[in-house]
Amino acid sequence: MGEVIVITSGKGGVGKTTTTANLGSSLALEGKKVVLIDTDIGLRNLDVVMGLENRIVYDIVDVVEEKCKLRQALIKDKRFKELYLLPAAQTRDKSAVNEEQMRNLVGKLKEEFDYILIDCPAGIEQGFKNAIAGADRAIVVTTAEISAIRDADRIIGLLESSEIKNPELVINRIRPNMVKKGEMMDVDDIVDLLSIDLIGVVPDDEYIITQTNKGEPVIQNKRAPSGKAYLEIAKRVLGEKIEVTIPGREKGFFSKIKNIFKK
Amino acid sequence: MFENMMNFFKKLGKKESKQVNNSKDAAKERLHLVLMQDRANVSADFLELMKQEIIEVIKKYIDVDEREIDVRLTNKENGDGTNGAPALYANIPILNIKNESRKVEIKKEEPKNKKDEEKQDKSNKKQEVSKKEEVKEETSKPKEEHNDKKVDDPKKEKNTEKTLENKEQDSVKTKEKIKSEN
């Protein structure tokens, strides 16, 4: 039986789709059988971030309306051993699917796959409700900005009221230079405010843009620091107890001396 | 001399961080307030339940006009007109202090002044003791932290104890040798 993880945030544009794509790819690299589901009906993006937009034949609405079989809608990503995508529809909206249908769909996939990652749309309306229906676990993505954290708090409240307990946090687009200068909230501040377990910190990375331009997950570029962060998050999802690497916190000799003087 | 240099460097470090930390600290504070208000407002029952319980407690001591009670979550106003920390504001019109509260506890007057004084002394001592205990707790906490860090020291102490013991044993042995030689 597979595990269903919904990746949500409340706020738009903080990195849900990027996280879904890269976390899914990382899990596939670890040998797991993974399916990614785009539930942002009407504004689909997971397909284009993965570079699979030209291979869409059927989508999630076709499956739910039984115009095709589930197998036919799944796109196999040839770059990875066992990675599949179930794209969203582009010409419909989020009312085209309901929670019951989502649960059925996810139930069928659980029998075949190790991990089912659900890319949740922004907001708290039907799209969100669909995405969390049938999920076992949740990852909340936020950035270090006030509006993102505020929305994440609301989402965490909604998740805790649903069946999904213990959501975990990914802090995305951290800029260590700004954090050092005191111009950006740091990881501890954010974790204190939101009070949930931290599962990963991803630095702001230009490679995200260049890789997405090419339609390739950032983990495939060995030079990308964000790629390393996603690979680490995948290991933690699998249960490995690794300490969260926080970008910008060096453990070198000079930083220790600096700390003595700061106190 | 060295301490003065260390203090000098510390002051330098502190000055820098105070000047520059502004925007992140502002963000943290604002977020803290906003999150509190969001969370209180989201649960519509929260304020209502709290208000009811507060009224129940107050009713034990004071007769209040329940319909005129006003309980709100607002921001405290700072001197310069800006919004400060969030505060629970409660305006509770009093109708009457309850008759039960009129009663004054009259202690038995027979043993008279000495026992009263003794009792007062005891209660004063209790307060002093509890204050000392509080102070002790506070000071013991930092000590505990130090203990965690200084894991090596007890081992060192043990080693020195052992060496002392060894020396004692050695001296005992030498004494025995001397005896046996004799």
* 3-class DSSP assignment, residue A121: coil
pLDDT of residue B173: 47
B156-163: long-range contacts (C-beta < 8 A, 24 or more apart)? Answer: none
Q: How far apart are CA B30 and CA B35, in angstroms?
A: 8
**Quick one: what percent of chain A has pLDDT higher than 70?**
95
Tokens 């000590």 appear where?
Answer: B143
Q: What is the pTM of this model?
A: 0.70
Q: How far apart are CA A70 and CA A65, in angstroms?
A: 11
CA distance B2 to chain A (A): 14
Task: Report the residue from A149, A150, A184 with minimal CB separation from B24.
Answer: A184
Total number of residues shown for chain B: 182
Q: Which residue of B has its CA nearest to A180?
A: B21
Average pLDDT over residues A80-88: 97
The answer to whether the Cβ–Cβ distance between B28 and A189 falls below 8 Å is yes
pLDDT of residue B4: 76
| Chain A contact for B25 (CB, 8 A cutoff) | yes
Which 8-state DSSP code applies to residue A170?
E
Q: How far apart are CA A153 and CA A160, in angstroms?
A: 11
Sign of CA dihedral A229, A21, A144, B76: negative
If DSSP states are collapsed to H, E and C, what string results for B155-170?
HHHHHHHHHHHHHHHH
Task: Report the residue from B12, B30, B35 with minimal CB separation from A153.
Answer: B35
The answer to whether the Cβ–Cβ distance between A182 and B21 falls below 8 Å is yes
Q: How far apart are CA A132 and CA A118, in angstroms?
A: 8
For residue A3, name the pLDDT band (cuts at 50, 70, 90).
very high
| Chain A contact for B11 (CB, 8 A cutoff) | no
Mean pLDDT score of chain A: 94
* Cβ-based contacts of A154 with chain B (< 8 Å): 38, 42
Q: How many CB atoms lie within 10 A of CB A46?
A: 26
Average pLDDT over residues A68-75: 96
Q: How far apart are CA A49 and CA B153, in angstroms?
A: 56
pLDDT 10s digits, A5-52? 999 999 999 999 999 999 999 999 999 999 999 999 999 999 999 999
| Chain A contact for B99 (CB, 8 A cutoff) | no
Give the number of A-B residue pairs with CB atoms closer than 8 Å.
49
pLDDT 10s digits, A198-253? 999 999 999 999 999 999 999 999 999 999 999 999 999 999 999 898 988 865 56
The answer to whether the Cβ–Cβ distance between A150 and B9 falls below 8 Å is no
The answer to whether the Cβ–Cβ distance between A150 and B31 falls below 8 Å is yes
Query: Helix crossing, A225-237 with A16-29: angle to 10°?
Result: 70
User: Which of B91, B95, B99 minimizes the C-alpha distance to B72?
Assistant: B91
Which 8-state DSSP code applies to residue B86?
E
pLDDT of residue B54: 87
Those residues of chain B that have pLDDT short of 70 are 9-21, 44, 75, 77, 81-86, 108-182
The answer to whether the Cβ–Cβ distance between A146 and B27 falls below 8 Å is yes
CA distance B84 to chain A (A): 18
pLDDT of residue B109: 62
CB-facing half-sphere around the CA of A91: CA atoms within 13 A: 3
Q: How far apart are CA B100 and CA B94, in angstroms?
A: 15
pLDDT 10s digits, B50-59? 888 888 998 8
Alpha helix ranges (H) inside chain A: 16-29, 46-50, 60-64, 70-73, 99-110, 126-132, 146-161, 176-181, 187-194, 206-214, 225-237, 253-262
Quick check: A35 and A5 in contact, CB under 8 A? Answer: no
H or E segment and range at residue A76: strand A75-76
The answer to whether the Cβ–Cβ distance between A185 and B34 falls below 8 Å is no
The answer to whether the Cβ–Cβ distance between A150 and B22 falls below 8 Å is no
For residue A259, name the pLDDT band (cuts at 50, 70, 90).
low
Query: Helix crossing, A187-194 with B22-42: angle to 10°?
Result: 10
Sign of CA dihedral A9, A11, A15, A20: positive
| Chain A contact for B45 (CB, 8 A cutoff) | no
Nearest 5°: CA angle at A104, between A100 and A109?
145
* Cβ-based contacts of A150 with chain B (< 8 Å): 31, 34-35, 38
pLDDT of residue B106: 79
CA distance B154 to chain A (A): 24
Say how far residue A211 (Cα) sits from the centre of its chain: 16
H or E segment and range at residue A37: strand A34-38
Which 8-state DSSP code applies to residue A245?
P
pLDDT of residue B10: 66
* Cβ-based contacts of B24 with chain A (< 8 Å): 179, 182-186, 189
The answer to whether the Cβ–Cβ distance between A181 and B27 falls below 8 Å is no
Nearest 5°: CA angle at A75, between A210 and A118?
75
User: Which of B105, B92, B88, B104 minimizes the C-alpha distance to B57?
Assistant: B92
Write the burial class of residue A146 (CB in 10 Å: 0-12 exposed, 13-18 middle, 19+ buried). Answer: middle
- A191, two tokens: 């974790």
| Chain A contact for B22 (CB, 8 A cutoff) | yes
| Chain A contact for B106 (CB, 8 A cutoff) | no
- A207, two tokens: 């490679």
Say how far residue B168 (Cα) sits from the centre of its chain: 47
pLDDT 10s digits, A148-172? 999 999 999 999 999 898 999 999 9
Q: Of A143, A160, A180, A181, which to mutate for an interface test with B (greatest number of B Cβ within 10 Å)?
A: A181
**Quick one: what percent of chain A has pLDDT higher than 90?**
90
* Cβ-based contacts of B22 with chain A (< 8 Å): 182
Q: Give the type of residue at B11.
A: K
Q: Of B20, B31, B32, B42, which to mutate for an interface test with A (greatest number of A Cβ within 10 Å)?
A: B31
| Chain A contact for B30 (CB, 8 A cutoff) | yes
CA distance A237 to chain B (A): 28
